[in-house]
Copies of this chain bind each other. A is one copy, B any other.
Amino acid sequence: MLPTIEWRGDHVRVIDQRKIPAKVEWYVCRGYRDVIKAIQTMVIRGAPAIGVAAAMGLALGADGIRTNAYPSFVRQFRKVAELMAAARPTAVNLRWAVDRILRLVESMAGAPVDRIKTAIRRESEAMLAEDIEINRRIGEHGQTLVPPEATILTHCNAGSLATGGYGTALGVIRAAREAGKKVQVIADETRPWLQGLRLTAFELMQDRIPVTVIADNAAGYLMRQKKVDLVITGADRIAANGDVANKIGTYQVAVLAKENGIPFYVAAPLSTIDVRIKSGEMIPVEEREGKEICCFGKRLMGPEGVKAFNPAFDITPAKFVKAIVTERGLIRPPYVRGIGKIFSS
């Protein structure tokens, strides 16, 4: 599998996910502004992946600060950090990664600025490696939920491309396959960006895991026909009560799974859980431009002047989530207790 993001000498390069699968093109980031732009324009997406990108972007940002004085450095660095954290509002991994780097910088107060810059870069490399390891553990825990033969529906892309590598929801599917289970996948195409059709199908076909793409509006039909054994998705932010923000359409899939007696699971690293937020209603939902709905490439598909509403995420209430799969194991309802226990231990 291709690396989603990596260091190349003094710059960071990112697979341009807007072009997959038609082309595999690298998007080069030489400064932190390039990283912010890559995140905002969907060159890189997926909560864990943009967390790693933010850390690497901060290393580029630190490199660009021309001072040897710690107080001046930290003042400038904090501005860069705030811009990075604000690149997209919904996924909390961005904030989490920025805070982790900020804590590192603060812990080195007074150290030579060059040493701090090196430490930030090393931390960003460590976060990439950790993310892959975390996903492998999510996979190990999550695959215990998968029967020996299973058709698994997933929404959007929570795969290698959405993370440092291996994937969260797709990590569970990969681990089930590695454990010898016979899995096949139904991938919602996931409008408007088609992450399911373009990215999830691409990753699974590379791994020779059978995958069939459907329009988002056909998921319920398949569930009602008993053609889905379980549903698993990733998450962009999970509140302390277990409410899950994820790609627009996740809520619908969860409601339909419940209606049809099919378990709905969420796979995400602990860094996706935002314990400061009590419930999903407090999670900001990004609204993107209507033209992402109305245009295919540059071609307007609807009437001239048509209005569209394009929320990028939705909130799935905890009551629809049968378990949250983390690197520390499964969290089961009631989530307030389960999440509280993990974060206090």
By a CB distance below 8 angstroms, the chain B residues around A285 are 221
- Cross-chain contact B252 with A309 (CB below 8 angstroms): no
Q: Count the A residues whose beta carbon is within 8 Å of the partner chain — how many? A: 56
Q: Which residue of B lies closest to A222 (CB)?
A: B309
A293: chain B residues at CB < 8 Å are: 189, 197, 213-215
Binary per-residue interface labels of chain A (267-286) against chain B in the complex, 1 for a CB within 8 Å, 0 otherwise: 00000000000000000010
Contact status B213-A192, CB under 8 Å: no
Question: Which residues 287-301 of A sit at the B interface, judged by CB distance below 8 A?
Answer: 290, 293-294, 296-297, 300-301
Is there contact, CB below 8 Å, between A220 and B189?
Answer: no
Q: Which of A186, A191, A224, A303 neighbours the largest number of chain B CB atoms within 10 Å of its CB?
A: A303
Shortest Cβ distance from residue A236 to the other chain B in the assembled complex, whole angstroms: 14
Let me know if B217 and A216 touch, CB within 8 A.
yes
Chain B's closest residue to A206 (CB) is B303
Write out the residue numbers on chain B whose beta carbons fall within 8 Å of the beta carbon of A22: 300
The answer to whether B307 and A213 touch across the interface, beta carbons within 8 angstroms, is yes
Q: Is A4 an interface residue (CB 8 A)?
A: no
Q: For the complex, would chain A's binding face be called helix, strand, loop or mixed by DSSP majority? A: mixed
Determine if B256 and A214 form an interchain contact, defined as CB atoms under 8 angstroms apart.
Answer: no
| A224 surroundings in chain B (CB, below 8 A) | 251, 314-315
The quantity of this chain's copies bound in the complex is 2
Do A189 and B189 touch (CB < 8 A)? no
Interface residue A194 (Cβ < 8 Å from any Cβ of B)? yes
CB-CB under 8 A from A197, the residues of chain B are 293-294, 301-302, 306, 308
Cβ of A220 to closest chain B Cβ, rounded Å: 4
> Are the C-beta atoms of B248 and A194 separated by less than 8 Å?
no
Chain B CB within 10 A, most for which of A21, A222, A300, A305: A21
- Which B residues are in CB contact (< 8 Å) with A220? 249, 251-252, 255, 314
Q: Which residues of B contact A297 (CB under 8 A)?
A: 296
Residues of B within 8 A of A216 (CB): 191, 215-217, 249
Say if the beta carbon of A212 comes within 8 Å of chain B: yes
**Which residues in window 204-255 of A have CB below 8 A to B?**
205, 210-222, 224, 248-249, 251-252, 255
Contact of A214 among B205, B255, B305, B308 (CB under 8 A): B308
Which residue of the partner chain, among B194, B211, B252, contacts A301 with CB atoms under 8 Å?
B194
Q: Which residues of B contact A63 (CB under 8 A)?
A: none
Judge if A311 is at the interface, Cβ distance under 8 Å: yes
